[in-house]
Amino acid sequence: MDKVAVLDYGSQYTQLIARRIREARVYSEIFPPDVPLDRLRGEYRAVILSGGPASVYDEGSPLPERALFEAGLPILGICYGMQAMAACLGGRVIPAAQREYGRADLRFEARDPLFEGVAAELPDGRIAVWMSHGDTVLAPPPGFARLGGTANCPVAAMADPGRRLYALQFHPEVAHTPQGRRILENFLFRVAGLEPTWSMASFVEDAIEAICRRVGQGRVLCALSGGVDSAVTALLVHRAVGDRLVAVFVDNGLLRKGEGESVRRTFREHFGMNLVYMDAAQRFLDRLRGVTDPEAKRKAIGAEFITVFEQEARRLGAVEFLAQGTLYPDVIESTPHRGPSATIKTHHNVGGLPPDLRFQLIEPLRELFKDEVRQVAKLLGLPDGIVWRQPFPGPGLAVRILGEVTEERLEILREADAIVQEEVRAAGLERELWQAFAVLLPVRTVGVMGDFRTYAQVIALRAVMSQDAMTADWARLPYDLLGRISSRIINEVKSVNRVVYDISSKPPSTIGWE
Ligand code: XMP
């Protein structure tokens, strides 16, 4: 299989580059910029230098070693990657008076396979590209030809086709460069001569085989959370070792309506998995009694989870392996922008187990992005409800009940939330929204029902759009939908007489209320 290495100089788009390459069905991996050349040579057939916030003029700015360019590998430098390439190979880079950010029109100055099939978008043959840079290459290094320029940037694309060294000042990986995908594919297929052979189906086969080899006749433990990552992890391991996988689902009583039952049905009945379903609701409730501070709730829930999981692990006797749904964004340490999965799993990564309970870790999703995990989930036949499940915090409904968590308040929130989920799904918005949920507030307000005055609970509705949970905006839900949710909650959920909609963005608010 052909593989591409993406060297990460810190751009927020590094992961996007790796994804675009995989979307072109070529396997790609991200490395820190100082990865030793020996690690790349032989195994990787092309290298991409990402963008990044540094300037080649900064002291200690990360620069590739010259030997990288002499290794015979096809290389594409993007943005800072281009400036670094130019600086290393004797081109002239000048610090910009100001950053250029946004759309620019690229005119072609030479024909090259890199731009094959790229159609002119403007009457004079130019195409739209997306720029975000400070420094600029003024003169390409010796041996390089100028392939294109923009109004502010005389060398916006350059190449030494003989050595297969290419560089772009603009970002082909972002959607704002409409033909960027084509340009990247040209680099992969026409310049580097790679084959598009990476697919999720082959990933599944390879992953199952690798787990078989690794586990041999051993046993594997896997904690299911109800989410897609742990579900796919368990299914892959199950395909590999069958009943030697014990999946453990801890029902902490803080789940949404029907969730526990759906996990039981799906994994035990549908997939025939050896599933230990632990009803620990009462234990969690006891532990949460009187706790109102959000962080204290989180700590209590995390600690209780470890206690329950540890007990079960000890009861099972010798189990050598623990399977976890770690994803690629969790693995890439040098990437400053981390996906939501890092946070979402805090209570399921069972990191706090006592030292005598040592497992060898199996992490079959370490190389995948979330959308790829969803593709695998579909291939493995997981129901849509799990494949498209919105992120749900480990501490569950406990951090959506402001103040103390009691059985009664859980019941109110669970019913209200079920209505939100139903209506959002019926409106076809489930996949578009990052999250939509109900929050139970610690106040009561006055209302009137029939001829009676009520003094009852308030539900806040939260629905956000987001790419990665780092930032989010409140969703402009249609008024009709808001109206339906509100009247259903007030009519159907006992002791709620008011619904409000949260119109704050993150930052400065957060997505959750606690
Ligand atoms: P906030 O509320 O900080 O949340 O904007 C960002 C994302 O993380 C999820 N979240 C959690 N996930 N344990 C988790 O597993 C937690 O304690 C936790 N707190 C927040 C939240 O649902 C959102 O998607």
Domains of the chain: 3-191 (3.40.50.880), 200-387 (3.40.50.620), 406-501 (3.30.300.10)
Note the helical H segments in 24-119. Answer: 37-40, 66-69, 80-89
The letter for the amino acid at 463 is A
Please tell me the distance from the alpha carbon of residue 367 to that of residue 22, in angstroms, as a whole number: 11
The letter for the amino acid at 296 is A
Give the Å distance between the CA of 393 and the centre of ligand 1. Answer: 5
Closest ligand 1 atom to the C-alpha of 434? 24
Q: Which pLDDT belongs to residue 367? A: 84
Say if residue 25 is exposed, middle or buried (CB neighbours under 10 Å; 0-12, 13-18, 19+): middle
pLDDT per residue over 7-62, tens digit each? 999 888 898 899 899 999 999 999 989 999 999 999 999 999 999 999 999 998 99
Q: Which pLDDT belongs to residue 245? A: 98
To the nearest whole percent, how much of the chain has pLDDT over 90? 82
To the nearest whole percent, how much of the chain has pLDDT over 70? 96
Please spell the DSSP secondary structure of 294-310, one letter per residue: HHHHHHHHHHHHHHHHH
pLDDT per residue over 148-187, tens digit each? 999 999 999 999 999 999 999 999 999 899 999 999 999 9
Please tell me the distance from the alpha carbon of residue 506 to that of residue 473, in angstroms, as a whole number: 6
Note the helical H segments in 24-79. Answer: 37-40, 66-69
Say if residue 176 is exposed, middle or buried (CB neighbours under 10 Å; 0-12, 13-18, 19+): middle
Which residue from 467, 497, 501, 222 is spatially nearest to 363, judged by alpha carbons? 222
Q: Is the pLDDT of residue 338 over 70?
A: no
Q: Is the pLDDT of residue 339 over 50?
A: no
pLDDT per residue over 381-415, tens digit each? 999 989 999 999 989 999 999 999 999 999 999 99
Q: Alpha-carbon dihedral of residues 173, 7, 2, 197, nearest 10 degrees?
A: -30
Q: Is the pLDDT of residue 335 over 60?
A: no
Predicted model pTM: 0.78
Q: Whose CA is nearest to atom 15 of ligand 1?
A: 344
Q: Is the pLDDT of residue 417 over 90?
A: yes
Q: Is the pLDDT of residue 346 over 60?
A: no
DSSP 144: -
Q: Is the pLDDT of residue 262 over 90?
A: yes
Q: Are 449 and 497 in contact (CB under 8 A)?
A: yes
User: If you average pLDDT over residues 86-99, what whole number do you get?
Assistant: 91
Q: Are 244 and 219 in contact (CB under 8 A)?
A: yes
Tokens 């060898």 belong to residue = 360
Which residue from 498, 477, 479, 478 is spatially nearest to 487, judged by alpha carbons? 498
Which residue from 7, 4, 8 is spatially nearest to 23, judged by alpha carbons? 4
| 336 against 259, higher pLDDT | 259
Closest ligand 1 atom to the C-alpha of 346? 15
Give the Å distance between the CA of 500 and the centre of ligand 1. Answer: 21
List, chain by chain if needed, residues with CB within 6 Å of any ligand 1 atom.
298, 340, 343-344, 346-347, 391, 393-395, 435, 469, 506, 510-512
| pLDDT class of 432 with cuts at 50, 70, 90 | very high
- What's the N-to-C CA distance of the chain in angstroms? 46
Please tell me the distance from the alpha carbon of residue 403 to that of residue 444, in angstroms, as a whole number: 13
The tokens for 356 are 């005598």
Give the Å distance between the CA of 255 and the centre of ligand 1. Answer: 15
Write out the catalytic residue numbers. Answer: 79, 171, 173
| 335 against 436, higher pLDDT | 436
| 472 against 329, higher pLDDT | 472
Contacts of 479 (CB under 8 A, 6+ apart): none
Say if residue 110 is exposed, middle or buried (CB neighbours under 10 Å; 0-12, 13-18, 19+): middle
Helix H or strand E encompassing 385 = helix 384-387
pLDDT per residue over 111-124, tens digit each? 999 999 999 999 88
Q: Whose CA is nearest to atom 11 of ligand 1?
A: 393
Q: Whose CA is nearest to atom 7 of ligand 1?
A: 469
Q: Which pLDDT belongs to residue 342? A: 30
Give the Å distance between the CA of 301 and the centre of ligand 1. Answer: 14
Q: Is the pLDDT of residue 349 over 70?
A: no
Say if residue 383 is exposed, middle or buried (CB neighbours under 10 Å; 0-12, 13-18, 19+): middle
Please tell me the distance from the alpha carbon of residue 35 to that of residue 111, in angstroms, as a whole number: 33
**Whole-number average pLDDT of the chain:** 92
Q: Are 110 and 197 in contact (CB under 8 A)?
A: no
Q: Is the pLDDT of residue 325 over 60?
A: yes
Strand partners, 360: 321
Q: Which pLDDT belongs to residue 445? A: 98
411, 461, 506 from 471: Cα distances, Å: 30, 18, 5
Please tell me the distance from the alpha carbon of residue 275 to that of residue 246, in angstroms, as a whole number: 6
Instruction: Specify the range with the lowest mean pLDDT, choosing from 93-97, 145-149, 371-375.
Output: 93-97
Q: Which pLDDT belongs to residue 351? A: 60
| pLDDT class of 332 with cuts at 50, 70, 90 | low
Closest ligand 1 atom to the C-alpha of 392? 22
Q: Which pLDDT belongs to residue 350? A: 54
